[in-house]
Amino acid sequence: MGFWRELFLTFSVVALTAMALALIAPRLLRLSVAQGQLLVGLICGAGAIGAMASSATVAPGIQIDLRTSLVATAALVGGPLGAVTTAILAMGFRAYQGGAGAGVGAAIVALTAAASLGVRMACMKRRVRRRAIVIAALATGLITAAAVVALPTLTSQQRWDLSVPLFWLTVVTIILVGFTLRQASDWAWESHMLRSALAQAPNFFYVKNRRSQIVAANQQVAEHHGFASPEALRGRTDLELSPGAHAAALFEAEQALMRSGTPIIEKVEKLRRPDGSEAWYETSKVALRDPWGAVIGLTGVTVDITQRMRLEADLRAANAALEALAGTDPLTGLANRRSFDAALARAIAEAQRRDTGFAVLMLDVDMFKSYNDLYGHMQGDDCLKAIAGVLVSALQRPADIAARYGGEEFAMVLPDTDLAGAMVVAERIRADIVRRAITHKGSPFGVVTASIGVATSMGGEAAQQVMAAADAALYAAKLADRNTVRNAGAPAS
């Protein structure tokens, strides 16, 4: 019974060593490969010495312990440098202890290290695989059992009684230690990946507790608030980091989120940076819950979308410019036929909705073909531009629209205008064109003139009917020796 108590003590030493390795797993990722392997070797070597110091004595000079489990672990986890370091420490201490089994003990350590390294090279790449752990455990158990059988001072019964339990104890110990360290390594790697992603992300990432105090944040958040490292932010709230009114609003919004559990998704706001410049930010925050569903804090990400907002504004401006160009006559700058048709449709709909009237004016430059023949197309273009200027001057309200309808024809829509008002506008336009005094030797008037037809509607006619009425009035003005205004009357609605 004393033998198994002593063996349990050596098992406890192995367990403590495994715990130490699990605790340093995250730190190993911050070291070089050689440094990490050496550190694993030193810890496993110290554990092997402790295991041998608490070993069970079965005969004078012959000790049984679980040093091989730590040698195998050092080889699997620490690689060649870890295995050699542990082996040297274990063999040196066993030699220091002396006794009849010292040579066999050293041989067991060397064989275990070699076998486990072989398994590592054959079954592993970068991670400790479960298959490698099991194979190494079986190989180490066989080596340990064989060493017991080879001891000459033991009887056959003693060899059997010791080798079989020691084989299984070694196998189970290595599997338990190996699987534990593998899980610790996985957790450390996942934690490292998350921390790296958090630290290196270009956006602002942060985690806060139930009191809105920062628990974790990345470098972007720290630099934004003027700190060298994220650690300086821990325990602080927005009340300490942001301007008063805005900080209070942030704090209340976060507390409301954690009370209700309702996330904040893609909230866009314009704020002032620490350097005084203005920027746009988009923020999303969600509540964090413990395994039982209680809210324990929140996590958030804030993105500087200033560049995106500028690009969107530029895109909107470009689209507006393109839309304006698509609806503008390139020569005169007036609306084109497409825009005029849309304005007429709006005027009809508005007249129907409000039970009000509107007027349409059709204008044709008198004897314009003759003008082009006499003065050329370039001066003809200048003439049309001058006529367009007169029409623009006649627009009194934002809803009024003047358009180049085609060739030398122009059209206007005057919402909420009756026949009398439309006739006044038309006559003013006709007179203004005459006052421009654009010389036209082919005209009986000696200057460029225009004929104008006026039609009104209460919204009861289709666009084609309204335009037909205006066109008929224009034709009547042409027949009346031009340079005049005629109306189509007020059709019934």
pLDDT digits (tens, 9 = 90+) for 466-485: 999 999 999 999 998 899 99
Contacts (Cβ under 8 Å, ≥6 apart) of 473: 362, 453, 454, 455, 486, 487, 488
Query: In 3D, which of 130, 153, 150, 132 has the Cα closest to residue 142?
Result: 150
Residue the block writes with tokens 């110990």: 173
pLDDT for 454: 94
Least confident residue range of 101-115, 407-421, 426-440: 101-115
What dotted CATH number matches 2-196?
1.10.1760
Q: What's the pLDDT at 197?
A: 74
The proportion of the chain whose per-residue pLDDT surpasses 90, expressed as a percent, equals 32
- The residue type of 151 is L
Active site residues: 408
Cα–Cα distance, 333 to 402 (Å, whole number): 10
DSSP annotation of 328? B
Other CB atoms within 10 Å distance of the CB of residue 314: 10
- Answer yes or no: same fold for 2-196 and 327-487: no
CA distances from 146 to 111, 141, 149, 312, 435 (A): 11, 8, 5, 76, 123
pLDDT for 110 equals 87
Domain locations in the chain?
A: 2-196, 204-308, 327-487
Rounded Cα distance, 371 and 156, in Å: 131
pLDDT in tens, 85-127: 988 998 888 888 776 667 777 888 888 888 888 888 887 666 6
Q: How far apart are CA 48 and CA 63, in angstroms?
A: 13
CA 329 to chain centre: 43
pLDDT, position 491 = 40
pLDDT of residue 59: 65
- Is the pLDDT confidence value at 64 over 80? no
What's the average model confidence in pLDDT over 438-446?
92
Rounded Cα–Cα distance for residues 309 and 315 (Å): 10
**Torsion angle, alpha carbons of 38, 43, 49, 52, to 10:** -120
Closest by CA to 390, choosing from 399, 381, 402, is: 402
Mean pLDDT of 55-74: 76
Q: How far apart are CA 141 and CA 167, in angstroms?
A: 4
CATH level 3 topology of 204-308: Beta-Lactamase (3.30.450)
Write down the residue that tokens 């050699």 correspond to. 84
Angle between helices 377-394 and 419-436 (to 10 degrees): 140
Look up the CATH superfamily of 327-487.
Reverse transcriptase/Diguanylate cyclase domain (3.30.70.270)
